[in-house]
Structure 1
Amino acid sequence: MNRQIKLIWDFRGQAAAKTAEHHEIHLKEFLDKENYILKITGFEILNEMYAIAYLVVEEADMIIFRDALRPHRGEVYLVES
């Protein structure tokens, strides 16, 4: 199994949750436009002033997505079983 990378966008402030939720919509649109096989996206509200949006890609595709979408950071995606 190939490693997968979770690309992450951080949002802070009172509108963080809504901004992260809206950003996920654009990430889904990008995946559809690019016909990308993985469709793993999401957003998480970490507290009232901090939320993230994320997209998971194959490690081999990470640089292409990084350059096109400019995430704030990334990490290895681990599937919880």
Structure 2
Amino acid sequence: MSDRLKVSLYVDHVDDSSDFDKVNDWLARWGDKVTVKSYSTGGWEHCWDLLAPAEAVAELPAEWLCDSEWATPELFEAKLQ
């Protein structure tokens, strides 16, 4: 599906799990329209690499979006040169 965007999300739940819970609710709501390409956790930190429709991405708080080799490879390639 070329109409999907590559995005990376980062949330933590050091004090509470509300952001983590909201991401999981968002993933459940969008179902098979969102593909989780990668998920990692360090316990309190959670990172997802996703393919998602633009309208789904538009629902996400900007502070959850992050740069990554998945979502913004051009930033990482520039550092290698």
Q: What TM-score do you get using the length of structure 2 for normalisation? A: 0.45
Specify which structure has the higher proportion of strand: 1
Q: Which has the higher contact order (CA 8 A, sep 6+)?
A: 1
Structure with greater Cα Rg = 2
